[in-house]
Each structure stands twice: as C-alpha cells, then as structure tokens.
Structure 1
C-alpha cells in the first residue's frame, strides 16, 4: 500500500512538472513586471505565472501554519490526558488488591 501511495505521488509530481513545462513553452513572450516602481527582469510569461502560483501556494501554507501548530499542541495535550486516564484505573485496581 505504501508503494502504491509513493507511485501515485511520483506520478502526480511528474504531471505537475510536465504541466509547468508546457505552460512555459506555450507562453514564451517575455514581459517585464513593474513591482512598486522596481522592474523585475524580462522573463517568459509562463515563468511569471509559475512564480505567482508558487508564491500563492507558499503564502497559503504559511497562513495555515499557526492553526496546524495549535491543533498539534491540542492533540498532544489530549494524548497526555488519555494516558493519565488509562493509568488511573490500573493504579486503583492495584491498590484494591
């Protein structure tokens, strides 16, 4: 099952790379981006599109990071509580014997 998952992820990665290459090759016109008065070099339009997609994905991951860290902390606290609850009945049973 793990091998199948790895193969699917590899296939998905290859498809993404091929789509990116296709995007760059079908949009070869070079453009210059003016970003707050500073010109960013002339690059193919497809490359600018990929850069914008990458920047958007990165911002999305960074925006969700605080929530993910909060949830991981909550899971850790709940696991500690669960361990305490499992140990308590065993200790009580040992005291009664």
Structure 2
C-alpha cells in the first residue's frame, strides 16, 4: 500500500526537477493509460458538459482521486510522494518514445 502523503502534479514535477509541464505530463499519462477523461454537467450552465481527468485503475498505483472543493461532482488527481520517482521515470520514457 502506498503512503497517504500526496501532492499536486505541478509541485512534484518541480520538486523532482522533471522537465515536463503538468499539461504535457497529463497528456502522457492519458497516452499510457494512467489517466482517463470523465465528464460532468456544468453547475452554472445546464446542458453543458465539462471534461476533467481522473486516475484510471492503473493510475491509482501512483495517486488518488480527491474531491475537488470548487466542483463537488468532480475529483482531481493527487500523487503519492513516495512513488513519484517511479511515475516520473515512466513519464520521461513516454516523452522520449513520443520524440518530444
């Protein structure tokens, strides 16, 4: 079981000196199956569907989906500090394979 100590992707990328933006890292995680897109109806504009990213079952090895305080019907991924180096290595390998 992974530790309960979680942090945002942006902060962990900076702390570990990973030369990827959070946007790029999220795109890579979608490609390798660690993230997936979910949808919800907009709370302010009925009929409008909003997309957001959640950790897939495979991605749950690296973090948790926590409720978003601004949007209670939505979660946001947060990543385990102790397994982040392993995740970062996968992201860098996927980025290299994609040819930047």
Q: TM-score range by the shorter chain?
A: under 0.3
TM superposition score normalised by structure 2:
0.24
Higher helix share: 1
TM superposition score normalised by structure 1:
0.24
Higher strand share: 2
Bigger Rg, structure 1 or 2: 1
Greater RCO, 1 or 2 (C-alpha within 8 Å, sep 6+): 2
